Structure 1
Amino acid sequence: MFTGAGRLLAATLLVTSFTVAAAPSASAAVCVWTRTALPTTGDRTAGDVTGGNDGGVLVGNTYKPNPIFAGSGPKYGAVWSGGKLVASAADPGTQFSGINNAGTVVGFTIDADGHSHAATFSSTTGAATPLPVDSSWINTTADAINTAGDIAGTADFGGSSHVVVWHAGGHKVLSQSSSRLDLVHGIDDQGRVLADIALPAADNELSGVVWDASGARHVLAGVDSQTWHTTFAIRGGLVAGSYDEAQAALWKVDGTLSSKIAGGTKAEAIGATGTVGGQAYDTAAQKYSTVLWKAGTVIATLPTNSITAGVVVVGPDDHTAAGSEYGRTWGGGPSDLPVTWHCM
């Protein structure tokens, strides 16, 4: 079974996108997209972006890179605002996963025995406040938070992982959420939770599931023993992901398929106006690119300095985005770099 740290690494490995030269956005007056690496600290020159809010505050982690081996040095949660590193976790193994518009950061700490503990954190000091848990829970993570402060994450107990929601000082385990591996990706302002879980119908491969506020579970359309889906974001009544891990797609929150995005391989982030960030593939040029779509049409191609990159945040005005450039071709790993993109 994965610990909280293992789950976060597994989730990162699922997110992959690639690079091409910059192009202007069509969402407003013509502008040029530029790329900026976010600052890190000391010898922790690698890092990733895991979330952000509509005020431009980003969260993620920094760590010492290790490009030779699969692992890296311990991660330290980080907060960036205005392109500056404004807070960093003091303890190794403390990781930040998300932030809401009020500035509450969520993530987890890791103790000396390697167990993860869900917590909220100060966006100015990085100080941790543990979330309430059941005494039977072995590992917990807090992975996403909505505007109201509801938090979605995971808890390990009874030999498997379960999806958990913390609300108003209490917590509940979502029905039919037991799995060998749960990857929670979001909780929207209506209290709907998005996760990838191992479904028997998908031959024990991960596939996207949405729980609505009543606790009803909706498996994304198209799953069978040969086909499964990877998801990344939930917002505005839509889920962004990859249909059969090959085709960028959007689903409605009731699980029905909304659309497949032409030329896209992954839909990874959803902005406030519905702009989608992700990966596209040009079959003629045999080249991948990191792009923004509006209504299924590419409106911008984002510049990167590495072979692969992932979009995690799309700004509310469609003129900013953030994510991670990956240090290896197949996805995130021990030498990633947190970056932002701006359209000027």
Structure 2
Amino acid sequence: MFTGAGRALAAALLVTSIATVVAPTASAAPVCVWTRSALPTPADRTAADITGGNDSGVLVGNTYQPNFINSGHGPLYGAVWSGGKLVASAATAGAQFLGINNAGTVVGYTIDAAGHSHAATFDASTGAATALPVDPTWLNTDADAINTAGDIAGTAEFGGSPHVVVWHAGSYKVLPQSTSRLDLVHSIDDQGRVLADIALPVTQNELTGVVWDANGTRHVLAGANGTTWNTTYALRGGVVAGSARDAQATLWKADGSLGSKIAGGTAATAIGATGTVGGQAYDTVSQKYSTVLWQGGAVVATLPINSVTAGVVAIGPDDHTAAGNEYVRTWGGGHADTPVTWSCM
């Protein structure tokens, strides 16, 4: 239910509310000390990225071997972690794990010999893949997110551009007005709403978040214009978490209207079951980024990290655990990222 990304901060912050956000009631801030743990990777693949997690603490992502000469990496192998251990890995190189639901179904894609991607589900214990049904005219497909009911959201490439697709009960549909130069699907919530970042018409030169209701109605997030880019990461409880112009942590309602801007935050990247938001903040005095959890727009935890910066991908249902990636670059996403968990017990 969380994707994405991963693509990509420490004083008490106040939220500048633009409108009331309809969100789950936040629990009291945990009173404890947060600790950091790096997740294990295979000996021949020393780096990894977490891409999603469920409310049982099972995490998915991809392991790889960095190539420091050209800042690249070797083939990606989908991975599953549970209880701090690596419990499964993709059966073949190139198979990538992008999301998991509470039932433990993993989604992602495989790569064939010609380099084309094929949307698939994976067994969380063995890593074995099962291809999703597709139109034979589609060139590339991927499955990015899955909800509790097993509905899957992803993309299909045809007609020269990607389109957002939803798989349901063995069938599929292409969402209306989803054709774009670039589609990045992040979430499908339990109400069947799909969140993606899409490139709007070339004349507007925008990338912005879009939510489709289960009936196909499309909502473009408020604030998009010819000079504003909105990047999104998560949709849960009727709330979208993201970043306006890649600089301002922002929450929107699922109907596209602006909810609130989190003061001091640069990106809101994850939403927990109780409405806790995870992301990054920037301290203008120390000129440093920090990785934080917010409740009601106020920082309730600054998570310890051993790198330049880190991103939160998943938050545990009791707000006492979180998971994400440590980045070797300030702007996030490098060639040697470290998957980590945080706990506050």
TM-score by length of 1: 0.92
1:194-221, Cα deviation, whole Å (9 max, x unpaired): 0000012883332100000010000000
Matched with 1:184 is: 185
Instruction: Note the C-alpha offset of 1:187.
Output: 0.2
* Residues 1:29 and 1:275: Cα distance change in structure 2 (over 3 Å): closer
1:126-184, Cα deviation, whole Å (9 max, x unpaired): 00000000011000000000000000000000000000000010000000000111000
Code of the residue aligned with 1:308 in structure 2: it is T
Matched with 2:174 is: 173
Matched with 1:343 is: 344
> Is contact 1:149–1:167 with CA below 8 Å preserved after alignment?
yes
Matched with 1:300 is: 301
> Is contact 1:202–1:224 with CA below 8 Å preserved after alignment?
no
Matched with 1:231 is: 232
> Is contact 2:30–2:319 with CA below 8 Å preserved after alignment?
no
1:87-98 matches, within 5 Å, as 87-98=88-99
**Structural RMSD (CA):** 1.7
> Is contact 1:228–1:243 with CA below 8 Å preserved after alignment?
yes
* Residues 1:97 and 1:68: Cα distance change in structure 2 (over 3 Å): same
Matched with 1:4 is: none
Matched with 1:70 is: 71
Q: Distance in 2 between matches of 1:220 and 1:75?
A: 33
* Residues 1:148 and 1:137: Cα distance change in structure 2 (over 3 Å): same
Q: Distance in 2 between matches of 1:337 and 1:239?
A: 26
Q: State, as a whole percentage, how many aligned pairs show the same letter.
A: 75
Matched with 2:321 is: 320
* Residues 1:247 and 1:116: Cα distance change in structure 2 (over 3 Å): same
Q: Which moved more, 1:291-300 or 1:197-206?
A: 197-206
Matched with 1:45 is: 46
Matched with 1:81 is: 82
* Residues 1:329 and 1:281: Cα distance change in structure 2 (over 3 Å): closer
Q: Distance in 2 between matches of 1:261 and 1:28?
A: 17
Q: Which moved more, 1:144-153 or 1:37-46?
A: 37-46
Instruction: Note the C-alpha offset of 1:327.
Output: 2.4
Matched with 2:135 is: 134
Matched with 1:105 is: 106
* Unaligned ranges ≥5, structure 2: 12-26
Q: Distance in 1 between matches of 2:202 and 2:270?
A: 26
Code of the residue aligned with 1:189 in structure 2: it is D
Matched with 1:5 is: none
**Does the alignment pair 1:267 with 2:265?**
no
Code of the residue aligned with 1:236 in structure 2: it is G
**Does the alignment pair 1:288 with 2:289?**
yes
Task: Give the match's secondary structure for 1:36.
Answer: strand
Q: Which runs of 4+ in 1 moved over 4 A?
A: none
The structure in which a higher percent of residues are helix is: 1
* Residues 1:201 and 1:237: Cα distance change in structure 2 (over 3 Å): farther
> Is contact 1:201–1:224 with CA below 8 Å preserved after alignment?
no
Matched with 2:120 is: 119
> Is contact 2:29–2:300 with CA below 8 Å preserved after alignment?
no
Q: Distance in 1 between matches of 2:145 and 2:30?
A: 34
Q: For this pair of structures, how many residues does the alignment match?
A: 328
1:19-59, Cα deviation, whole Å (9 max, x unpaired): x79xxxx9345201111000101210100100000001000
> Is contact 1:27–1:299 with CA below 8 Å preserved after alignment?
no
1:78-134, Cα deviation, whole Å (9 max, x unpaired): 000000001001200000000000000000001111100000000000000000000
* Unaligned ranges ≥5, structure 1: 1-7
Q: Distance in 1 between matches of 2:161 and 2:117?
A: 15
TM-score by length of 2: 0.92
Code of the residue aligned with 1:197 in structure 2: it is I
1:194-273 matches, within 5 Å, as 194-200=195-201, 203-273=204-274
Q: Distance in 2 between matches of 1:194 and 1:139?
A: 20
1:152-167 matches, within 5 Å, as 152-167=153-168
Matched with 1:3 is: none
Code of the residue aligned with 1:116 in structure 2: it is S
Q: Distance in 2 between matches of 1:310 and 1:222?
A: 24
Task: Give the match's secondary structure for 1:200.
Answer: coil
Code of the residue aligned with 2:190 in structure 1: it is D
Matched with 1:332 is: 333
